[in-house]
Amino acid sequence: MPSIHPCDLPPDALLRKYRESGAYTDCYAVDVSPPVSQAVYVEAFYTSAVFKIERLLLAWFLSRPATDQQARLLATGQIDAFAAWTVEGRDTRQLLLCDFQSRTRSWLMSAPVNVNGSPGTRLYFGSAVVPVRDRRTGETTMGFVFRALLGFHKLYSRVLLRAAANRLTSKP
């Protein structure tokens, strides 16, 4: 399986507006074969074993449960709310979600690529963290918690994308 690697946001990425506004953004990608649709990718991402742990934690600690069926409906555009997120933007190749506090964004995109001479798909996963205004100084800041958890966030983003890619390439 090809490796997950950090990369630049594609020019048409819905997440790009956050990078341009000064928010923290990241982007990871992996190429898989055979080709998969955006809906299949989104469903695989939100129904992976790794993400199911996050869904369980969201249900326990924030009373925001979600099911595999809801992930499927989100993936096909039939619902616009899922666990702690709502759809901020979507098109045929990408999905941008906003968390319930409007502080973070999660973004998934798929694009056709050639993988070792065969048709495949580049799967992208990225995040944005919007800075907040410090009440004391009036300056915008990412905050202590963001800085403390950034290393974990980067690792976790790769783990989530790997789990989705594994689901997609292990299907018969």
HEC letters along 36-97: CCHHHHHHHHHCCHHHHHHHHHHHHHHCCCCCHHHHHHHHCCCCCEECCEEEEEEECCEEEE
Note the pLDDT of residue 138: 79
pLDDT in tens, 36-69: 999 999 999 999 999 999 999 999 999 999 999 9
CB atoms closer than 10 angstroms to residue 11: 6
Note the pLDDT of residue 131: 85
Note the pLDDT of residue 48: 97
Note the pLDDT of residue 172: 53
Note the pLDDT of residue 41: 98
Report domain extents, the chain: 5-36+86-167
Note the pLDDT of residue 171: 56
pLDDT lower than 70: segments of the chain: 1-2, 171-172
CA-CA distance, 122 to 6, in Å (whole number)? 13
